[in-house]
Structure 1
């Protein structure tokens, strides 16, 4: 169980570093002058612990924002400009990601610069801390490369008046982040002791290095890196129960390669409880991102056969919403009664007619229409969303249940997990060699955990490609990866019925909510207007010039 964390008072480069996980449970120190931070093992360790906190803040929107904008979910009712194709360089979300990733890079640069060759710090610890900092710096540049393309490269601390540099070409940014991941891979240990569980390991660096090759379509190199994690000395494996990945009581397991860590303490809890939760849970969540109809409708039965959503009652056949809702709920109840459904559907989504243990340990249920059940005086009460007048699918994953942890949710966000390694490895092999036995075996492990039969033999390379992509949709909804996937597959700007982002978005009745638009210029985000006004050495990305 996680310990209550203590605040670290040490300050590096005007940044107050704070604890964020088990391994950061250290005695607090008094505020330190910058020159003293790097004079002892304890101070240096606390400073790098602060980098973990900075990185958590920089990366925690990964799942929420990217799932809102990907095929797996949406955020239309809160901020529609991105989803309807009218975003501008002045949007706050572009600036937030840009500045947060650069802030992570800035702090990592401070760590690397001050530890490199520093004889005040024990050599093994010094090298390990540098490896951790290089991982985070590599992560920052990987994300900047993927979303923005050409960006400014800062590889060391710089005075403020020297930070206005020209852009570096995207291929050089990619090369730079790879060197960071390679260095981290070569320095970091395979695993840590229980007291340091959650620190960056060799496996996390290998995964990210393999991902850089995968995203750049260098399939053979991607497969070579990812394959390393499938055998000793690595002991990664899938947890037996998929839902355990998103339960704070069982989140420490062999599937997690790296997670953003949280504790049930005010200001240190997971924001996903509010972003994904409903008004019926402790956090009084806003369900700011909800699951998409595309995600729900692409789950299958055990044998791989699709769910027949065309048999669902149609709103047009009824005079009023209440009578329609009765038949619709009966249909969903019958669907969920099947023992042969993909187990991940109910673990990821609070489905219509499903129950949820909410605040005060009270049972709630997703009814339709909400207005017909809002005044129920006995359990299960009607599950309430911020926009309950719409037929929306709230997430179950990453949301705290019952009355535990009333101050904050301690549920970690698994940013890198072994299921992703398996499916990326399968993708890399299939793209380079076709659907070999290795591809089938890797995908089978993921499907088996979901209660599904293996894929049929004799699939073509294109059929396997589609199967792997669909498996990623079913495995990772709400975790942010799908937006990056459809961008790298170059499907985002299409009307592909599953992965295209130029389609109508439907509610759980199958009725249109809005039309999503992904212009081609979205493949390369704009440099935020605020940075253009400060740094005159850079120019706006061409498709965003008005």
Structure 2
């Protein structure tokens, strides 16, 4: 469903989805009762699990951007104008995968705006509840916008459910957009509590907001500010670096900052279903270039992926998520974890030429993987190269990390040897053709498309 159609269908009727079922309540009733207001917010979270840019599905950034870069090889020979073309870097404005990511993001944005507006108008919710619900909804909206601008470049920004306004939106200039995003995310952080409202860390709190805000600050080159945010997270009680590689993707691990709970109890994660295979590969295998980047003595070779023989071929599958049947009691889909914060902090420090302070944070993942510790005598260039190497090995298939990192470093061109069709304009995807036909204000299309 395209943005304009989605907004006209939903906002005219002023309905919002309230929970996993398709139950709907009139907005003015939802936000006069705390229980139903919480159910509306639960519906927003369920959308993150089911179909969103951080979902483990084929519409999520992990798969879409993983195939677009050099994390994942698509071995499917069927289908056109979808994920196969994403893998081949042959996107068209009609590509269904590109349209799905756009549409799902704007659906989440609409729902978040609906919740924020409803909470603001409520006369019965307490101020504490209002702040928390608004903060979480605002954070989720910011998360969608963060990915939209990374993938599509300049995109429309809206903080309202007004139908007429939304169907005529133009793309917001990048500087203005990033300023709004930074302001919104800072507000969300201030509104969310520092504690988790669920011990399983399945809902956003202030620490979760800090992670995304630090990522944004890094993209803006505000290295001292990202350093402070990362240090704040690492100093927060309740987080402990996981030294056992076999436990990194267990839902109970104290290094997890935020994760998505499966819709049904005992369901496997979506990532486990998408990436695993027994003999003949499914549609996706890990890119051989990624596998070859690991040293022979890197323990992540044992814990993060597995070789699978099929005839004379050997293919590799991810084993970060291992349970593929409805017997899962130990794995949720991890969105943010402490290793990310450690390497974000290291990068922020290196960018300020604080090499000796940065190296211990690079060494955390290296030493856990059985690799020798780096010395603090590294140059700035050497330290950055070590960070880049660690980030690739640690976060493959995780929510488009490779694409986001290469883009931040201005090094997407490194994909060319592995991705023969890669062109410089591929740093942005095309805006969906249907959107542009419905709203002429979205023109012009991104260069190259």
- The 8 Å contact of residues 15 and 24 in structure 2, kept in 1 or not, is answered as no
Deviation of the 1:289 alpha carbon: 2.8
Distance in structure 1 (CA, Å) of the matches to 2:447 and 2:185: 31
Q: Residue 50 of structure 1 aligns with which residue?
A: 43
Alignment of 1:101-500 (within 5 A): 101-159=105-163, 162-194=166-198, 197-231=201-235, 233-246=236-249, 250-264=250-264, 269-279=268-278, 287-300=282-295, 307=296, 341-351=297-307, 366-367=308-309, 370-371=310-311, 390-400=313-323, 405=326, 411-435=331-355, 437-479=356-398, 480-493=400-413, 500=414
Distance in structure 2 (CA, Å) of the matches to 1:276 and 1:410: 18
TM-score, scaled to structure 2: 0.88
Which of the two has greater helix per residue?
Answer: 2
CA RMSD between the two structures: 2.5
Distance in structure 2 (CA, Å) of the matches to 1:161 and 1:142: 22
Tell me: CA distance 1:426–1:465, structure 2 relative to 1, closer, same or farther (3 Å).
same
- The 8 Å contact of residues 169 and 441 in structure 2, kept in 1 or not, is answered as yes
Q: Residue 410 of structure 2: SS of its match in structure 1?
A: coil
Distance in structure 2 (CA, Å) of the matches to 1:411 and 1:516: 36
Larger radius of gyration: 1
- The 8 Å contact of residues 83 and 516 in structure 1, kept in 2 or not, is answered as no
- The 8 Å contact of residues 264 and 409 in structure 1, kept in 2 or not, is answered as no
Q: Does 1:538 align with 2:442?
A: yes
Q: Residue 329 of structure 1 aligns with which residue?
A: none
Distance in structure 2 (CA, Å) of the matches to 1:18 and 1:244: 31
Distance in structure 2 (CA, Å) of the matches to 1:196 and 1:144: 28
- The 8 Å contact of residues 275 and 286 in structure 1, kept in 2 or not, is answered as no
Q: Residue 543 of structure 1: SS of its match in structure 2?
A: coil
- The 8 Å contact of residues 348 and 477 in structure 1, kept in 2 or not, is answered as no
Deviation of the 1:410 alpha carbon: 7.2
Distance in structure 1 (CA, Å) of the matches to 2:129 and 2:28: 19
Out of 25, 30, 45, the position equivalent to 1:37 is 30
Tell me: CA distance 1:80–1:32, structure 2 relative to 1, closer, same or farther (3 Å).
closer
- The 8 Å contact of residues 242 and 450 in structure 1, kept in 2 or not, is answered as yes
Q: Does 1:73 align with 2:75?
A: no
Tell me: CA distance 1:519–1:17, structure 2 relative to 1, closer, same or farther (3 Å).
farther
Deviation of the 1:527 alpha carbon: 1.0
- The 8 Å contact of residues 76 and 83 in structure 1, kept in 2 or not, is answered as no
Q: Residue 350 of structure 1: SS of its match in structure 2?
A: strand
Tell me: CA distance 1:150–1:277, structure 2 relative to 1, closer, same or farther (3 Å).
same
Distance in structure 1 (CA, Å) of the matches to 2:191 and 2:15: 28
Q: Residue 141 of structure 1: SS of its match in structure 2?
A: helix
Query: What does the per-residue CA deviation read over 1:260-283, in whole Å, with 9 as the maximum and x for residues that have no partner?
Result: 2215559x6532222111146xxx
* Higher deviation after alignment, 253-262 or 71-80: 71-80
Tell me: CA distance 1:543–1:76, structure 2 relative to 1, closer, same or farther (3 Å).
farther
Query: What does the per-residue CA deviation read over 1:206-229, in whole Å, with 9 as the maximum and x for residues that have no partner?
Result: 111110011222222221222211
TM-score, scaled to structure 1: 0.73
Q: Residue 484 of structure 1: SS of its match in structure 2?
A: helix
Deviation of the 1:193 alpha carbon: 4.7
Tell me: CA distance 1:112–1:293, structure 2 relative to 1, closer, same or farther (3 Å).
same
* Higher deviation after alignment, 98-107 or 71-80: 71-80
Deviation of the 1:256 alpha carbon: 1.2
Deviation of the 1:46 alpha carbon: 0.6
- The 8 Å contact of residues 256 and 418 in structure 1, kept in 2 or not, is answered as yes
Q: Residue 82 of structure 1: SS of its match in structure 2?
A: helix
Q: Residue 218 of structure 2: SS of its match in structure 1?
A: helix
Query: What does the per-residue CA deviation read over 1:517-540, in whole Å, with 9 as the maximum and x for residues that have no partner?
Result: 321111122111110011111203
Q: Residue 420 of structure 1: SS of its match in structure 2?
A: helix
Q: Residue 116 of structure 1: SS of its match in structure 2?
A: helix
Distance in structure 1 (CA, Å) of the matches to 2:121 and 2:364: 44
Tell me: CA distance 1:45–1:453, structure 2 relative to 1, closer, same or farther (3 Å).
same
User: Which ranges of structure 2 fall in alignment gaps of 5 or more residues?
Assistant: 1-10, 78-82
Q: Residue 456 of structure 1: SS of its match in structure 2?
A: coil
User: Deviation above 6 Å: which 4+ runs of structure 1?
Assistant: none
- The 8 Å contact of residues 305 and 319 in structure 2, kept in 1 or not, is answered as yes
Distance in structure 1 (CA, Å) of the matches to 2:217 and 2:293: 28
